[in-house]
Amino acid sequence: MRYTLLLHYSEESPESLGEEALAEGMRRMAAFAATLHDAGVLLSAEVLQPSETTTTLRRDADRLQVQDGPFVDAKVQLGGTIVIDVPDLDAALEWASQAPALDWGGVVEVRPGAVHTVDGSWVPNR
Amino acid sequence: MDAAGSGSGGGSSPPAGSGGRDGGGSPAGLPTGAPAGPPIVSPDRAIAYSAAAHAARDSYGRLVAVLAANTGDLALAEDALADAFTTALERWPASGIPDNPEGWLITVARNRQRDVWKSAAARASAPLDLATTDFAEPFDAFDAVDPLRIPDRRLELCFTCAHPAIDEAARTPLMLQAVLGFDAAHIAAAYAVPTATMAQRLTRAKRRIARARIPFVVPDRRDLPERLPAVLEAVYGCAAITWRDDADSLAGEARHLAVTLAGLLEREPEAWALAALVTLSLAPPRSGPYVPLEEQSPASWDAPLIDEGEAYLRRAAALRGGAAPGRFELEAAIQAVHLDRRRTGTVDWAALRTLYSALLAVAPSLGARVAAAAVIGRTDGPAAGLAALPAGGEGFQPWWATRADLLRRAGDEVDSDAAYAHAIELARDPDVRAFLAERRSELR
């Protein structure tokens, strides 16, 4: 069963964070990924650039609207995703509880997948 | 528990934090899977019905737990079992009741699950409709079944119903339905919400269990302390919403669940304490005019139930060893002190006071604080009791009933009269209202 961990946290810049905290954060994210990988549960992981770099599209009355900035303007933003494959929700929650974001005042959503692609075709999560 | 302590007040109330005191009055509900009533008078049919109803009542939760644990799909398990009961009613009159009715039911239900699963698999292999994807695929769904050896997986089912990923408000209703077999209409009535609302809440919770794959497991020793309280709380809720029913009906089922849970967990002090609390709470009579516990005749109490409850309580205390007693043990002990009047002839108010101060340290609910004030009114006088009444209880019926009683004892008849008026206005149980009105009329 595939679950996506949606990591939400308030965005910091290298300046606001300080060099030391930034390095510590990166070290902990590296360790978290390595732990998931070594356990054989990690499918993919991605940390996103700050939401100020995002571009949002929508179509209004057949006109494509392009807007700078995130869809929802909030202090806490989606900052990364991790996809894991584990037997059940308890296992997913156990891994999610080790996410460093939780120690940074962040929030982790654990969401089961419905379908995902294999070689360009959708297959159900099971 | 305030039922135990507020004998002086108007509280024949359910435990604090319960779904509602007026939960009683609903007839004993057959499990969801069982038919609504004996449809035909033919003796064979009646015997078949009664065998099905007996299997339903007795083992509904056991069968659902087994069927759901293997597929992760609680709603499908319940539907499949309901189908099996229907089939039983059709077949048993002609074929005779099988030697092993439960094994028969579970085999038929499993076939039904398999059919549903096959058609879901067929849908899944067709071009995918993203809007309707719901792939709660059974894992090891159809392992060889030995119908003679149906494992007891109710404990797993309890932990699933009270999983932290389930909406807290849905946990007790889910347990009432899945483990005890109450239908949504009964549960809705107990919670005073429309049936459709409750049905939706239950459906949503079951869908969540299947889709998010909440496992059917008892947490390991490491996680158990964190997870057990929610299970006990939900079982307590099952007892609380049946608080005014008698031991033969829904309340008896809730007691059965509490005792079963304690037995399955074996060595958890608070599970045994909860079994004790629920058992002892059933000992006083529940029908007829409302009489505060301290004014009831011990002859009206169910002595074997008290003996049984006391045995559970001793077991809880023994298992706990030197550790501090938990909330359920304290509540059960409070009830036991009241019921001990059958031996001593008096209420040991000092012991109650000690127990309440311990209870307030671990679980300071409004109900417990009000009940404690009533006890302090006895040990330290009405003025001390009034001073101990917590602030902010003005919306809570037992608060007014206790205040009225304390003022009456203090000789302040004018204020007591006004407090009784508030208590009567807030009382939802007609028997409690009648009792309070009578007390009020004695003031003048």
A120 CB near a chain B CB, below 8 Å?
A: no
Q: What is the DSSP letter of A122?
A: E
Residue-level pLDDT at A1: 94
* Judgement on whether residues B38 and B79 belong to the same structural domain of the protein: yes
Q: What is the gyration radius of the CA atoms in chain A, in angstroms?
A: 17
How many CB pairs (< 8 A) connect A and B? 38
Q: A45-49 — which CB contacts under 8 Å span 24+ positions?
A: A45/A80, A45/A81, A45/A82, A45/A83, A46/A80, A46/A81, A46/A82, A47/A7, A47/A79, A47/A80, A48/A78, A48/A79, A48/A80, A48/A81
Inter-chain CB proximity A90 and B217 less than 8 Å: yes
Task: Using CB atoms within 10 Å of the CB of residue B294, give its burial: 0 to 12 exposed, 13 to 18 middle, 19+ buried.
Answer: middle
Q: Report chain B residues whose CB lies below 8 A from the CB of A114.
A: 130, 133, 135
For chain B, the domain total comes to 2
Taking phi over 0 as left and psi of -120 to 50 as alpha, with beta for the rest, B266 belongs to left
ipTM of the complex: 0.82
H or E element in which residue B227 lies: helix B224-240
Which of B130, B135, B139 is closest, CB to CB, to A125? B135
Q: Which DSSP string do the residues of B77-126 spell out, in sequence order?
A: HHHHHHHHHHHHHHHHHHH---SSHHHHHHHHHHHHHHHHHHHHHHHHHS
> Would you give the distance in Å from CA A70 to the centre of its chain?
15
- Examine residue A120 and state whether it is found in any structural domain, yes or no: no
Which residues face A42 on adjacent strands? Answer: A84
Which residues face A116 on adjacent strands? Answer: A123
A59 CB near a chain B CB, below 8 Å?
A: no
Domain that holds residue A40: 2-114
Report for B89-103, B118-132, B392-406: range of highest mean pLDDT = B392-406
d(CA B344, CA B393): 34
Q: Report chain A residues whose CB lies below 8 A from the CB of B131.
A: none
- Examine residue B279 and state whether it is found in any structural domain, yes or no: no
Taking phi over 0 as left and psi of -120 to 50 as alpha, with beta for the rest, A84 belongs to beta
- Examine residue A122 and state whether it is found in any structural domain, yes or no: no
- Examine residue B51 and state whether it is found in any structural domain, yes or no: yes
Q: Is the pLDDT of residue B184 over 50?
A: yes
Q: Is the pLDDT of residue B49 over 80?
A: no
> What contacts B237, CB < 8 A, 6 or more positions away?
B18, B19, B171, B172, B175
pLDDT digits (tens, 9 = 90+) for B353-402: 999 999 999 999 899 999 999 999 999 999 999 999 999 888 899 999 99
Q: Is the pLDDT of residue B198 over 70?
A: yes
d(CA B397, CA A60): 56
Q: Which DSSP string do the residues of A69-86 spell out, in sequence order?
A: S-SS--SEEEEEEEEEE-
Residue-level pLDDT at B33: 39
Which of B135, B139, B165 is closest, CB to CB, to A89? B165
To the nearest whole number, what is the mean pLDDT of chain B? 81
Which tokens in the block code for residue B440?
A: 């009020």
3-state secondary structure of A7: strand
Best probe of the B interface among A5, A89, A126, by most B CBs < 10 A, is: A89
* Judgement on whether residues B47 and B111 belong to the same structural domain of the protein: yes
Residue B25 identity (one-letter amino acid):
G
Place of tokens 């006890």: B375
For chain A, the domain total comes to 1
Q: Where are the beta strands (DSSP E) in A1-126?
A: 2-10, 42-47, 55-60, 63-68, 76-85, 107-112, 115-118, 121-124
Closest chain A C-alpha to B156 CA, distance in angstroms? 13
Best probe of the B interface among A88, A93, A108, by most B CBs < 10 A, is: A88
Residue-level pLDDT at B54: 57
Inter-chain CB proximity A87 and B215 less than 8 Å: yes
Which of A90, A112, A114 is closest, CB to CB, to B215? A90
Nearest CA in chain B to A112: B212
Nearest CA in chain A to B131: A114
Mean pLDDT of B90-104: 85
A61 CB near a chain B CB, below 8 Å?
A: no
A115 CB near a chain B CB, below 8 Å?
A: yes
- Examine residue B370 and state whether it is found in any structural domain, yes or no: no
pTM score: 0.74
> What contacts B349, CB < 8 A, 6 or more positions away?
B375, B378, B379
Domain end call among B240, B274, B290: B240
Which band of pLDDT confidence, cut at 50, 70 and 90, is reported for residue B191? confident
> What contacts B305, CB < 8 A, 6 or more positions away?
B247, B279, B280, B282, B283
Q: B78 or B35, which is more confident? A: B78
- Examine residue B198 and state whether it is found in any structural domain, yes or no: yes
B124 CB near a chain A CB, below 8 Å?
A: yes
d(CA B421, CA B437): 8
Residue-level pLDDT at B335: 97
* Judgement on whether residues B182 and B230 belong to the same structural domain of the protein: yes
Closest chain B C-alpha to A30 CA, distance in angstroms? 27
d(CA B161, CA B217): 11
- Examine residue A80 and state whether it is found in any structural domain, yes or no: yes
Domain end call among B186, B207, B240: B240
- The CATH number covering residue A11 comes to 3.30.70.1060
- Examine residue A19 and state whether it is found in any structural domain, yes or no: yes
* Judgement on whether residues B115 and B165 belong to the same structural domain of the protein: no
Domain that holds residue B157: 153-240
- Examine residue A39 and state whether it is found in any structural domain, yes or no: yes
Q: Which residue stretches of chain A have pLDDT < 70?
A: none
- Examine residue B57 and state whether it is found in any structural domain, yes or no: yes
Residue-level pLDDT at B57: 60
Domain end call among B122, B141, B171: B122
pLDDT digits (tens, 9 = 90+) for B270-316: 999 999 999 999 999 877 888 999 999 999 999 999 999 999 999 99
Inter-chain CB proximity A124 and B214 less than 8 Å: no
> Would you give the distance in Å from CA B432 to the centre of its chain?
22
